[in-house]
Amino acid sequence: MKIAFIGLGNMGLPMALNLARAGHDVTGFDVAGVTSDAFASAASAAEAARGTAVVITMLPNGDILRAVADEVIPAMDQGAVLLDCSTVDVASARDVAERARAARLGALDAPVSGGTGGAEAGTLTFMVGGDADAFETAKPLFEIMGQKAVHCGASGNGQAAKICNNMILGITMIGTCEAFALADKLGLDRQAMFDVVSTSSGQSWSMNTYCPAPGVGPKSPADNDYKPGFAADLMLKDLRLAQQAAEQADADTPLGAAARDLYAAFVDTEDGAGRDFSAMLPRFEGRGRG
Protein backbone atom coordinates (compact mmCIF):
# COMPACT_ATOMS: atom_id res chain seq x y z
CA MET A 1 0.00 0.00 0.00
CA LYS A 2 1.24 3.52 -0.78
CA ILE A 3 1.19 5.51 2.45
CA ALA A 4 2.06 9.05 3.51
CA PHE A 5 3.07 9.55 7.14
CA ILE A 6 2.85 13.14 8.42
CA GLY A 7 4.45 13.79 11.80
CA LEU A 8 7.62 11.83 12.55
CA GLY A 9 8.09 12.50 16.23
CA ASN A 10 8.65 10.07 19.11
CA MET A 11 5.51 8.14 18.18
CA GLY A 12 5.19 8.75 14.44
CA LEU A 13 8.70 7.75 13.40
CA PRO A 14 8.65 4.21 14.84
CA MET A 15 5.12 3.69 13.50
CA ALA A 16 6.26 4.72 10.02
CA LEU A 17 9.33 2.50 10.29
CA ASN A 18 7.20 -0.52 11.15
CA LEU A 19 5.02 0.08 8.08
CA ALA A 20 8.07 0.44 5.84
CA ARG A 21 9.72 -2.69 7.25
CA ALA A 22 6.50 -4.60 6.57
CA GLY A 23 6.89 -3.78 2.88
CA HIS A 24 4.60 -0.79 2.42
CA ASP A 25 5.61 2.14 0.21
CA VAL A 26 5.96 4.92 2.79
CA THR A 27 6.71 8.59 2.21
CA GLY A 28 7.25 10.72 5.29
CA PHE A 29 7.10 14.41 6.12
CA ASP A 30 7.79 16.33 9.32
CA VAL A 31 8.14 20.09 9.77
CA ALA A 32 11.28 19.47 11.86
CA GLY A 33 12.95 17.83 8.87
CA VAL A 34 13.04 14.31 10.38
CA THR A 35 13.95 11.70 7.76
CA SER A 36 14.86 8.02 7.64
CA ASP A 37 16.79 5.77 5.29
CA ALA A 38 13.92 3.27 5.60
CA PHE A 39 11.42 5.33 3.60
CA ALA A 40 11.16 8.23 1.15
CA SER A 41 10.88 11.84 2.26
CA ALA A 42 8.75 14.65 0.84
CA ALA A 43 9.25 18.41 0.85
CA SER A 44 5.71 19.08 2.12
CA ALA A 45 2.68 17.31 3.55
CA ALA A 46 0.79 17.82 0.29
CA GLU A 47 3.62 16.29 -1.73
CA ALA A 48 3.68 13.26 0.55
CA ALA A 49 -0.10 12.82 0.25
CA ARG A 50 -0.36 12.81 -3.56
CA GLY A 51 -1.22 9.44 -5.06
CA THR A 52 -1.43 7.57 -1.76
CA ALA A 53 -4.06 5.12 -0.55
CA VAL A 54 -3.75 6.24 3.08
CA VAL A 55 -2.43 9.41 4.71
CA ILE A 56 -1.54 8.90 8.38
CA THR A 57 -1.06 11.88 10.69
CA MET A 58 0.48 11.91 14.18
CA LEU A 59 0.37 15.52 15.36
CA PRO A 60 0.52 17.49 18.64
CA ASN A 61 -2.92 19.14 18.78
CA GLY A 62 -6.18 19.93 17.01
CA ASP A 63 -5.08 23.26 15.54
CA ILE A 64 -2.11 21.63 13.81
CA LEU A 65 -4.32 18.76 12.63
CA ARG A 66 -6.76 21.23 11.06
CA ALA A 67 -3.91 23.06 9.33
CA VAL A 68 -2.41 19.84 7.96
CA ALA A 69 -5.85 18.70 6.80
CA ASP A 70 -6.20 21.97 4.88
CA GLU A 71 -3.01 21.04 3.04
CA VAL A 72 -3.43 17.31 2.43
CA ILE A 73 -7.15 16.91 1.70
CA PRO A 74 -6.98 18.77 -1.65
CA ALA A 75 -3.92 16.71 -2.63
CA MET A 76 -5.46 13.31 -1.92
CA ASP A 77 -7.15 11.08 -4.49
CA GLN A 78 -10.88 10.42 -4.09
CA GLY A 79 -11.41 7.17 -2.18
CA ALA A 80 -8.18 7.47 -0.21
CA VAL A 81 -8.29 7.38 3.61
CA LEU A 82 -7.16 10.12 6.01
CA LEU A 83 -6.13 8.28 9.19
CA ASP A 84 -5.36 10.56 12.12
CA CYS A 85 -3.57 8.89 15.03
CA SER A 86 -3.09 12.10 17.05
CA THR A 87 -4.77 12.69 20.39
CA VAL A 88 -6.80 15.87 19.86
CA ASP A 89 -10.11 17.40 20.88
CA VAL A 90 -13.26 15.68 19.66
CA ALA A 91 -14.48 18.79 17.81
CA SER A 92 -11.30 19.00 15.69
CA ALA A 93 -11.50 15.29 14.86
CA ARG A 94 -15.11 15.60 13.72
CA ASP A 95 -14.44 18.77 11.72
CA VAL A 96 -11.55 17.19 9.83
CA ALA A 97 -13.59 14.03 9.17
CA GLU A 98 -16.47 16.10 7.79
CA ARG A 99 -14.14 17.96 5.44
CA ALA A 100 -12.53 14.71 4.32
CA ARG A 101 -15.89 13.12 3.54
CA ALA A 102 -16.93 16.23 1.59
CA ALA A 103 -13.86 15.61 -0.59
CA ARG A 104 -14.96 11.96 -1.03
CA LEU A 105 -12.26 10.60 1.23
CA GLY A 106 -12.51 8.06 4.01
CA ALA A 107 -11.79 9.49 7.45
CA LEU A 108 -10.70 7.85 10.71
CA ASP A 109 -9.67 9.26 14.06
CA ALA A 110 -7.53 6.61 15.74
CA PRO A 111 -5.64 7.80 18.83
CA VAL A 112 -3.36 5.25 20.42
CA SER A 113 -2.46 3.78 23.78
CA GLY A 114 0.89 2.15 24.49
CA GLY A 115 3.42 4.97 24.42
CA THR A 116 6.73 5.05 22.61
CA GLY A 117 7.52 1.50 23.65
CA GLY A 118 4.34 0.28 22.02
CA ALA A 119 5.05 2.33 18.91
CA GLU A 120 8.50 0.77 18.57
CA ALA A 121 7.31 -2.77 19.29
CA GLY A 122 4.19 -2.52 17.14
CA THR A 123 1.92 -3.28 20.10
CA LEU A 124 -0.22 -0.13 20.23
CA THR A 125 -3.97 -0.17 20.85
CA PHE A 126 -6.00 1.97 18.44
CA MET A 127 -9.37 3.49 19.41
CA VAL A 128 -11.00 4.22 16.07
CA GLY A 129 -13.89 6.42 15.03
CA GLY A 130 -15.17 6.82 11.48
CA ASP A 131 -16.47 4.96 8.46
CA ALA A 132 -16.62 1.15 8.54
CA ASP A 133 -15.25 0.91 4.98
CA ALA A 134 -12.27 3.13 5.87
CA PHE A 135 -11.67 1.01 8.97
CA GLU A 136 -11.48 -2.11 6.82
CA THR A 137 -8.98 -0.38 4.50
CA ALA A 138 -6.77 0.58 7.43
CA LYS A 139 -7.08 -2.70 9.35
CA PRO A 140 -3.92 -4.28 7.84
CA LEU A 141 -1.96 -1.19 8.92
CA PHE A 142 -3.35 -1.35 12.45
CA GLU A 143 -2.20 -4.98 12.59
CA ILE A 144 1.38 -3.90 11.78
CA MET A 145 1.51 -0.88 14.08
CA GLY A 146 -0.43 -2.39 16.98
CA GLN A 147 -1.90 -5.40 18.69
CA LYS A 148 -5.52 -4.25 18.79
CA ALA A 149 -7.83 -1.83 16.97
CA VAL A 150 -11.34 -1.22 18.28
CA HIS A 151 -13.91 0.44 16.00
CA CYS A 152 -15.78 2.71 18.41
CA GLY A 153 -18.36 4.08 15.99
CA ALA A 154 -18.80 7.44 14.31
CA SER A 155 -16.11 10.07 13.70
CA GLY A 156 -14.79 11.53 16.94
CA ASN A 157 -15.60 8.42 18.95
CA GLY A 158 -11.97 7.27 18.85
CA GLN A 159 -10.95 10.50 20.57
CA ALA A 160 -13.87 10.15 22.98
CA ALA A 161 -12.73 6.65 23.96
CA LYS A 162 -9.14 7.81 24.45
CA ILE A 163 -9.95 10.75 26.70
CA CYS A 164 -12.49 8.79 28.76
CA ASN A 165 -9.94 5.99 29.27
CA ASN A 166 -7.21 8.42 30.26
CA MET A 167 -9.51 10.36 32.57
CA ILE A 168 -10.04 7.07 34.45
CA LEU A 169 -6.28 6.46 34.41
CA GLY A 170 -5.44 9.92 35.78
CA ILE A 171 -8.03 9.62 38.55
CA THR A 172 -6.96 6.12 39.59
CA MET A 173 -3.27 7.00 39.60
CA ILE A 174 -3.91 9.92 41.92
CA GLY A 175 -5.98 7.69 44.19
CA THR A 176 -3.26 5.05 44.20
CA CYS A 177 -0.57 7.60 45.07
CA GLU A 178 -2.72 9.16 47.80
CA ALA A 179 -3.31 5.72 49.32
CA PHE A 180 0.41 4.84 49.39
CA ALA A 181 1.22 8.20 51.00
CA LEU A 182 -1.47 7.61 53.63
CA ALA A 183 -0.23 4.04 54.20
CA ASP A 184 3.27 5.42 54.82
CA LYS A 185 1.99 7.84 57.47
CA LEU A 186 -0.03 5.07 59.12
CA GLY A 187 3.03 2.82 59.32
CA LEU A 188 1.81 0.26 56.77
CA ASP A 189 4.60 -1.40 54.78
CA ARG A 190 4.36 -0.68 51.05
CA GLN A 191 4.79 -4.31 50.04
CA ALA A 192 2.00 -5.33 52.41
CA MET A 193 -0.15 -2.53 50.98
CA PHE A 194 0.48 -3.82 47.45
CA ASP A 195 -0.13 -7.44 48.40
CA VAL A 196 -3.53 -6.57 49.87
CA VAL A 197 -4.79 -4.02 47.35
CA SER A 198 -3.56 -5.82 44.20
CA THR A 199 -5.70 -8.82 45.14
CA SER A 200 -8.64 -6.95 46.67
CA SER A 201 -11.37 -4.56 45.56
CA GLY A 202 -8.95 -1.62 45.29
CA GLN A 203 -6.97 -3.22 42.47
CA SER A 204 -6.46 -1.26 39.24
CA TRP A 205 -4.02 -0.99 36.36
CA SER A 206 -2.30 1.85 38.24
CA MET A 207 -1.68 -0.46 41.19
CA ASN A 208 -1.21 -3.89 39.63
CA THR A 209 0.66 -3.10 36.41
CA TYR A 210 2.17 0.38 36.82
CA CYS A 211 2.68 0.63 40.58
CA PRO A 212 3.96 4.12 41.53
CA ALA A 213 5.96 2.81 44.51
CA PRO A 214 9.59 1.89 43.70
CA GLY A 215 10.51 -1.73 44.35
CA VAL A 216 6.91 -2.86 44.63
CA GLY A 217 5.03 -4.86 42.01
CA PRO A 218 6.14 -5.26 38.38
CA LYS A 219 8.94 -3.01 37.17
CA SER A 220 7.64 0.45 36.27
CA PRO A 221 8.97 4.01 35.77
CA ALA A 222 8.99 4.35 39.57
CA ASP A 223 11.96 1.95 39.49
CA ASN A 224 13.79 4.25 37.06
CA ASP A 225 13.60 7.50 39.04
CA TYR A 226 10.23 8.24 37.41
CA LYS A 227 11.68 8.76 33.96
CA PRO A 228 8.57 8.87 31.81
CA GLY A 229 6.87 5.94 30.27
CA PHE A 230 3.84 8.22 30.07
CA ALA A 231 4.78 11.79 30.94
CA ALA A 232 2.76 13.85 33.39
CA ASP A 233 2.67 16.56 30.71
CA LEU A 234 0.79 14.19 28.38
CA MET A 235 -1.60 13.12 31.12
CA LEU A 236 -2.36 16.80 31.74
CA LYS A 237 -3.03 17.29 28.03
CA ASP A 238 -5.50 14.39 28.00
CA LEU A 239 -7.24 15.53 31.19
CA ARG A 240 -7.65 19.00 29.72
CA LEU A 241 -9.13 17.48 26.55
CA ALA A 242 -11.51 15.44 28.68
CA GLN A 243 -12.71 18.53 30.54
CA GLN A 244 -13.09 20.47 27.29
CA ALA A 245 -15.27 17.65 25.94
CA ALA A 246 -17.22 17.47 29.21
CA GLU A 247 -18.00 21.18 29.04
CA GLN A 248 -19.18 20.87 25.44
CA ALA A 249 -21.32 17.83 26.29
CA ASP A 250 -22.66 19.31 29.57
CA ALA A 251 -21.30 16.32 31.51
CA ASP A 252 -20.64 16.47 35.26
CA THR A 253 -17.08 15.16 35.82
CA PRO A 254 -15.89 16.49 39.19
CA LEU A 255 -13.17 13.88 39.71
CA GLY A 256 -11.88 14.45 36.18
CA ALA A 257 -11.73 18.18 36.89
CA ALA A 258 -9.93 17.59 40.20
CA ALA A 259 -7.40 15.31 38.49
CA ARG A 260 -6.77 17.95 35.82
CA ASP A 261 -6.19 20.61 38.47
CA LEU A 262 -3.78 18.40 40.44
CA TYR A 263 -1.76 17.51 37.36
CA ALA A 264 -1.77 21.17 36.26
CA ALA A 265 -0.24 22.18 39.60
CA PHE A 266 2.23 19.28 39.41
CA VAL A 267 3.39 20.09 35.86
CA ASP A 268 3.07 23.87 35.72
CA THR A 269 4.17 25.02 39.18
CA GLU A 270 5.94 22.06 40.84
CA ASP A 271 8.51 19.55 39.56
CA GLY A 272 6.30 17.31 37.45
CA ALA A 273 7.30 18.52 33.97
CA GLY A 274 9.28 15.80 32.20
CA ARG A 275 8.55 13.18 34.87
CA ASP A 276 6.30 10.15 34.68
CA PHE A 277 2.68 10.69 35.64
CA SER A 278 3.15 8.22 38.53
CA ALA A 279 5.60 10.67 40.16
CA MET A 280 2.51 11.98 41.93
CA LEU A 281 3.55 9.58 44.73
CA PRO A 282 6.68 11.50 45.85
CA ARG A 283 4.59 14.66 45.51
CA PHE A 284 2.09 13.38 48.09
CA GLU A 285 4.80 11.84 50.29
CA GLY A 286 6.22 15.24 51.18
CA ARG A 287 2.92 16.98 51.83
CA GLY A 288 0.73 17.25 54.91
CA ARG A 289 -2.99 17.75 55.02
CA GLY A 290 -2.77 21.55 55.03
* pLDDT tens series, the chain, 290 aa: 999 999 999 999 999 999 999 999 999 999 999 999 999 999 999 999 999 999 999 999 999 999 999 999 999 999 999 999 999 999 999 999 999 999 999 999 999 998 888 999 999 999 999 999 999 999 999 999 999 999 999 999 999 999 999 999 999 999 999 999 999 999 999 999 999 999 999 999 999 999 999 999 999 999 999 999 899 999 999 999 999 999 999 999 999 999 999 999 999 999 999 999 999 999 999 899 87
Q: Tell me, yes or no, whether 76 and 166 share the same domain.
A: no
Q: Considering 153, 187, 221, which residue would you say is the last residue of a domain?
A: 153
Q: Are residues 7 and 110 in the same domain?
A: yes
Question: Which residues participate in catalysis according to the annotation?
Answer: 162
Q: Confirm if 262 and 174 have CB atoms less than 8 A apart.
A: yes
| Residue 146 sits in the same domain as residue 173 | no
- The pLDDT of residue 115: 86
Q: Could you tell me if 8 and 57 lie in one domain?
A: yes
Same domain, 145 and 180: no
Range of the domain at 86: 2-153
Q: Are residues 19 and 114 in the same domain?
A: yes
At which of 91, 118, 153 does a domain end?
Answer: 153
pLDDT of residue 212: 98
Are residues 6 and 139 part of one domain?
yes
CATH number of the domain bearing residue 267: 1.10.1040.10
pLDDT at 290: 72
Instruction: Report the CATH number that the domain containing residue 18 is assigned in CATH.
Output: 3.40.50.720
Q: 84 and 145 share a domain?
A: yes
Residues 180, 143 within the same domain: no
The one-letter code for the residue type at 55 is V
pTM above 0.75, yes or no: yes
* pLDDT number for residue 56: 98
* Number of neighbours of residue 258 by Cβ within 10 angstroms: 14
Query: How many domains is the chain built from?
Result: 2
Looking at the fold, whether 115 and 198 belong to one and the same domain comes out as no
What pLDDT is stored for residue 116 in this prediction? 87
Shared-domain flag, residues 124 and 225: no
**The pLDDT value given to residue 289:** 87
Domain end point (choices 153, 172, 203):
153
Residues 94 and 193 in one domain: no
